[in-house]
Amino acid sequence: MGKRLHTAFIVGLTLLACSFSALGSEGTLGANPVVAVEQKMMTTPQAVVLGVVEGLTEYLPVSSTGHLLLAEKIMGIGEDPYQSPAQREQTKEAVDAYTICIQAGAILAVLWLYFGRIKQILLGVVGKDSTGRRLLFNVTAGFLPAAVLGLLFNKVIKSYLFGPWPVVIAWLLGGLAILAVSWRNRKRNQGTRLGSLLEDMTWQMALIIGFAQCIAMWPGVSRSLVTIVGGLLVGLTMEAAVEYSFLLGVVTLGAATAYDTLKHGQLMLQTFDHYSLIVGVVVAFIAAVVSVKWMVSYLSRHGLEIFGYYRVAIAVATTVFLLTTKMIWIQ
């Protein structure tokens, strides 16, 4: 019961933070030289779909960003031909902020499922658990590369890589890479599970994984994929690599969620509303709990190969979809 109350408290604080930071300067948009966005609420089914997609794919090595961009395009979210170019740009920023803010649900799912490990880290902060303190240091080391490079290249990445074709390319290349690694490991290891535990991880190993995480700034690559593979390459067991990926994700996704909420929160809630945000976060939380539980069980027995086939398949299917819709539009 204590854990559930603790999580419920965090959920409430997260939603309040999103709401108040977004509304902090409400009513001042008229003074902004950028054209105000026309009120256009997101429907409940759309919010549910985005929440499900976010929750199911955030920690799977398939790229949540790529799936969210595809879902937005299929449902036509943010695509209004009657808007001016300035309004379309603002709507795109609002949609991007929304899909990042509902990551709060996926973050809370890991806090819920790994409450014992989070508690250990917190005890390490106050000097009561040496293993927790070491793990906190390693998570921080893994986060730093993405924090620095993300701030430097955030605008460039959103301008040039947040589109369907870059995602398709990343899906395909990532899928082929997974299959190549899986086939190689199958021949070399024959299912052995040797490696270091999370408690034995060094800061050098964490830093290497952190730089690998930066590759996932390309939408479609998948943060989970590169951090899990990075963990395996530096010598962690599959279980340790997956758990570290989850813990690193809490910090990385939390920072991205806070940054976009503070920067675009007001615009997001003017374009959509509080209710859409709450629905997205809650549904993402539920879907992420299911996804993480399944993933941990599956990877401990089978490995990553199935995700390689999935990525190749969705890359091909999305290519057909994009080409078909373009041909229909031309006709």
- Measured between alpha carbons, how far is 14 from 262 in angstroms, rounded to an integer? 12
| pLDDT above 70 as % of the chain | 82
Q: Specify the pLDDT at position 66.
A: 86
What string of DSSP letters covers 207-244? HHHHHHHHGGGSTTS-HHHHHHHHHHHTTB-HHHHHHH
Neighbouring C-beta atoms of residue 276, cutoff 10 Å: 23
Asked whether the beta carbons of 59 and 111 are under 8 A apart, the reply is: no
Q: Nearest-CA neighbor of 135 among 196, 200, 194?
A: 200
Q: Does residue 239 surpass a pLDDT of 90?
A: no
Q: Specify the pLDDT at position 135.
A: 93
For the segment 310-314, the average pLDDT, to the nearest whole number, is 95
Asked whether the beta carbons of 283 and 103 are under 8 A apart, the reply is: no
For the segment 158-162, the average pLDDT, to the nearest whole number, is 74
Mean per-residue pLDDT of the chain: 81
Question: What digits encode the pLDDT tens for the residues 18-67?
Answer: 433 333 333 333 333 343 344 456 889 999 999 999 999 999 999 888 89
Q: Does residue 113 surpass a pLDDT of 80?
A: yes
- Number of alpha carbons in the 13 Å side-chain half-sphere of residue 65: 27
What string of DSSP letters covers 126-187? TTS-HHHHHHHHHHHHHHHHHHHHHHHHHHHHHHHTSSHHHHHHHHHHHHHHHHHHHHHHHH
- Strands, E, within 12-61: which ranges? none
Q: Specify the pLDDT at position 235.
A: 87
In this structure, is the dihedral angle defined by the CA atoms of residues 23, 28, 32 and 37, taken in order, positive or negative? positive
For the segment 199-205, the average pLDDT, to the nearest whole number, is 91
Identity of residue 297: S
Question: What digits encode the pLDDT tens for the residues 257-311?
Answer: 898 888 888 888 888 888 889 999 999 999 999 999 999 888 878 888 899 999 9
Task: Provide the token pair at 296.
Answer: 């941990």
Q: Specify the pLDDT at position 279.
A: 94
Instruction: Pick 236 or 18 by higher pLDDT.
Output: 236
Asked whether the beta carbons of 102 and 281 are under 8 A apart, the reply is: yes
Q: Specify the pLDDT at position 5.
A: 39
- Confidence band for 205, pLDDT divided at 50, 70 and 90: very high
Q: Specify the pLDDT at position 189.
A: 57
* Residue 120 Cα distances to 114, 132, 243, 250, 291, angstroms: 10, 5, 14, 15, 24
Q: Specify the pLDDT at position 41.
A: 64
Which of helix, strand or coil describes residue 196? strand
Q: What angle do CA 219, 313, 164 make, to 5 degrees?
A: 35
Q: Specify the pLDDT at position 187.
A: 62
* Residue 45 Cα distances to 82, 227, 280, angstroms: 23, 32, 10
Q: Does residue 87 surpass a pLDDT of 80?
A: no
Q: Nearest-CA neighbor of 265 among 147, 93, 113?
A: 93
Least confident of 23-32, 84-93, 218-227, 311-320: 23-32
